[in-house]
Amino acid sequence: MAAAFKALSNPNRLAAYLELLRCRGASIKTCAMQDLMDMLKIGAPTLSHHIKEMVNAGLIEVEREGKFLRCQVNEATRQKLGRFFGAKGA
């Protein structure tokens, strides 16, 4: 849990994670890195660093789709965070 909280302490990572949670609720379930770059207005190297930190913390998973990377929330970690905060239905 400490690694997840540390990763989410960065404003850009928190914003990206919240966007991935929003995508999770939609029919698409994943979000392309380009979409995250556009939303956060940051470059690819910076976003790659943030993605790596969130993957290492177990917050997200990344899949390669051709030459593109797609990110999605790691459900197991999301559920742990939900239980930690006492969210109903987590």
Q: Is 10:53 a contact under the CB 8 Å cutoff?
A: yes
55 sits in which H/E element: helix 44-56
Tokens of 65: 């789709």
pLDDT digits 0-9 by tens, 26-41: 656 678 888 889 989 9
Assign domain 2-84 to its CATH architecture: Orthogonal Bundle (1.10)
3-class DSSP state of 84: helix
Cα(42)–Cα(59) distance, rounded to whole angstroms? 20
Read off φ and ψ for residue 6, nearest 5 degrees.
-65, -45
List the chain residues with pLDDT less than 50: none
